[in-house]
Chains A and B, each alone.
Chain A
Amino acid sequence: GEDVEQSLFLSVREGDSSVINCTYTDSSSTYLYWYKQEPGAGLQLLTYIFSNMDMKQDQRLTVLLNKKDKHLSLRIADTQTGDSAIYFCAKKEAGTASKLTFGTGTRLQVTL
C-alpha cells in the first residue's frame, strides 16, 4: 500500500525558517495536504496543493512539490512559538472516496 514518510522531530529557533519534509511512494494523486495538530486537539488544515502544481505560497507558508522525486515540503517563514505542534502531510489518492493517507507526523519544537 501507499507509504507516506516524515521525520519525527524538528527543532528550530524562533525567527528562523522551518522546513518539514514528506516523501511518498505512490505517484497517483490529486491533492496533497498539510495539517497542524496542537496539543490535545484535532487536526487543522493548513494548506493544500494540487498535484499539477509545483509551488503554493500562503502568507508564511510555502509548499513545494517535486513529483519526480515524490517529495513534498512545508516551509514556515519566521517561525514563532505558536507554531510548535505536530505537522502531518496527507495524500488523496486518485479515484478513492476522499480517502487520505497520512504521514507519521513531524513534531516541530520552537526554541527561544
Chain B
Amino acid sequence: DVKVTQSSRYLVKRTGEKVFLECVQDMDHENMFWYRQDPGLGLRLIYFSYDVKMKEKGDIPEGYSVSREKKERFSLILESASTNQTSMYLCASSTQTGVQPQHFGDGTRLSIL
C-alpha cells in the first residue's frame, strides 16, 4: 500500500513564525502536492512538484514556499505565518503514468495564533 506520511497531525504556531510542514511518501512517486482544505472551499492546490528540485505554483501560492531535495520528501514552508493560514493541510503523491490517482496523507491541522 502507498503510504504518505505527514510529520504532524496538529500544530499550533504564532503569527510571524516560520513554519515547516513535512511530507514523506514511500512509493517512489514522481509527483507530490500540497493542498489546503477549508470548509465550503474544497481542496485548493498550493504547490506541486514533478521531480526533485522542481516546483510549480498552484492556485494559491502566496505566503508559501516549498522544498524538494529528495524524491520522497516534499516540505511546505510558511515564511511568516499569519492567522489566515490556519487550515487543514494535505499532502499527496502520484505517479506520472496511467490512472495517476493521488494518494493522500492524513493531514496536518495548523492553527496560527
The A-B contact count (CB < 8 A) is: 59
State in angstroms the CA–CA spacing of A48 and B99 once bound together: 8
Chain A positions within 8 Å of B59 at CB level: 1
Chain B positions 89 through 108: 1 when the CB is less than 8 Å from some CB of chain A, otherwise 0: 01010111001111111110
Measured CB to CB, the nearest residue on chain B to A45 is B101
Chain A positions within 8 Å of B100 at CB level: 31, 92, 98
Interface of A is mostly: strand
Interface size on A, residues (CB 8 A): 25
Q: Is the Cβ of B102 less than 8 Å from the Cβ of A42?
A: no
Interface size on B, residues (CB 8 A): 27
Q: Is A24 an interface residue (CB 8 A)?
A: no
Chain B positions within 8 Å of A40 at CB level: 106-107
Most buried by A among B40, B100, B105: B100
Chain A positions within 8 Å of B40 at CB level: 8, 104
Q: Is the Cβ of B107 less than 8 Å from the Cβ of A42?
A: yes
Chain A positions within 8 Å of B50 at CB level: 97-98
Q: Is the Cβ of B41 less than 8 Å from the Cβ of A104?
A: yes
Q: Is the Cβ of A102 less than 8 Å from the Cβ of B101?
A: no
Q: Which 10 A-B pairs have the closest CB atoms?
A: A42-B104, A104-B42, A102-B43, A43-B104, A97-B50, A42-B106, A98-B100, A45-B101, A98-B31, A98-B94
User: 14 A-B pairs, CB-CB below 8 angstroms?
Assistant: A4-B42, A31-B100, A31-B101, A40-B106, A40-B107, A41-B107, A43-B92, A48-B99, A97-B96, A98-B94, A98-B95, A98-B100, A99-B58, A104-B40
Taking Cβ atoms with an 8 Å cutoff, the residues of A that contact B are 1, 4, 6, 8, 31, 33, 35, 40-45, 48, 88, 90, 92, 97-100, 102-105
